[in-house]
């Protein structure tokens, strides 16, 4: 995807001009899994990502450093359900964290949700994932509840967060 195809009101983070953002496809699964497995204690499987690509509600956005042949630096998967967008997963390669890649992906994802007339966004996050919670709060997410014992390795609740779009 070229910047001209991004939402009109998109306000990119500083790193945007160094990233190539694009719609993910099944051909990207191995690159996604390489980040997934070093990012989460309970990584998604290849089958779960394949399911994301076969679900019409799902959209995956990827970021590569430099151009379309560059290293996959991060990804975001969203589900569009009526007037809601659900953030299913977002990750940045550990060696590149702190460079606003996740901010760029989330910003584009939420702007696309607004274009699709979503009124609110939702997600789940570990209470111990302070960096992720800080990112989400920066985008207007706030805690609305908990799912006790949602995560198993290690055992932890899920914090439910919403944002008005």
Q: Which residues are catalytic?
A: 124, 136
Give 129's contacts (C-beta < 8 A, 6+ positions apart). none
Is 107 buried (19+), middle (13-18) or exposed (0-12) by CB count in 10 A? buried
Helix (H, G, I), strand (E, B) or coil at 45: coil
- On the CB side of 124, CA atoms within 13 Å amount to 10
| Count of CB atoms situated within 10 Å of the CB of 25 | 10
Residue 158: both structure tokens together = 């899920």
Helix (H, G, I), strand (E, B) or coil at 80: strand
Give the strand pairing for 120-125 and 84-92.
parallel
């Amino acid at each position: 995807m070229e910047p001209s195809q991004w939402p009109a009101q998109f306000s990119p983070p500083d790193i945007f001009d160094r990233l190539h953002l694009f719609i993910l496809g099944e051909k990207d699964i191995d690159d996604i899994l390489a980040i997934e497995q070093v990012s989460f204690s309970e990584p998604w499987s290849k089958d779960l990502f394949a399911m994301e690509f076969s679900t019409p509600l799902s959209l995956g956005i990827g970021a590569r450093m430099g151009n379309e042949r560059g290293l996959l630096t991060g990804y975001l998967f969203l589900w569009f359900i009526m007037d809601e967008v659900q953030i299913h997963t977002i990750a940045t390669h550990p060696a590149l964290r702190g460079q606003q890649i996740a901010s760029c992906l989330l910003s584009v994802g939420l702007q696309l949700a607004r274009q699709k007339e979503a009124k609110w966004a939702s997600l789940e996050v570990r209470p111990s994932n302070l960096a992720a919670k800080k990112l989400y709060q920066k985008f207007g997410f706030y805690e609305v509840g908990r799912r006790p014992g949602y995560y198993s390795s290690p055992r932890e609740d899920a914090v439910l967060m919403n944002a008005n779009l």
